[in-house]
Amino acid sequence: MITPTHYMLLSAALFLIGVTGVLVRRNLIVIFMSIELILNAVNINLVAYSQQLQNAIGQVFAVFVIAVAAAEAAVGLGIILAFYRNKETINIDEMNTMRW
Partner 1 sequence: MADGLNMGEAIAFYVLAAFILGFAVLVVTARNTVHCVLFLVANFLFVAALYVLLGAQFLAVIQVLVYAGGIVVLYLFVVMLVNLKRPPEAHKDPRRRSGLGFALAAIVLVQVGAIAVWGARGARPPASAAPAVPALGNTEQIGWLLYTDYLIPFEVASILLLVAMIGAIVLTKKEI
Residue 2 interacts with partner 1 (CB under 8 A)? Answer: yes
The whole-angstrom separation of Cα 93 and Cα 15 is 24
Least distance from partner 1 to the Cβ atom of residue 100, Å: 23
CA distances from 36 to 2, 32, 73 (A): 25, 6, 9
Nearest alpha carbon to residue 94 among 31, 20, 86, 33: 86
Residue 80 interacts with partner 1 (CB under 8 A)? Answer: yes
Least distance from partner 1 to the Cβ atom of residue 67, Å: 5
Q: Which is nearer to partner 1, 1 or 96 (CB)?
A: 1
Q: Contact 21/31 with Cβ under 8 angstroms?
A: yes
Residue 95 interacts with partner 1 (CB under 8 A)? Answer: no
Alpha helices in the chain (DSSP H): 4-24, 28-53, 57-87
List of residues contacting partner 1 (CB under 8 A): 1-2, 6-7, 10, 13-14, 17-18, 20-21, 24-25, 27, 29-30, 32-34, 36-37, 40, 43-44, 47-48, 50-51, 56-57, 59-60, 62-64, 66-75, 77-82, 84, 90
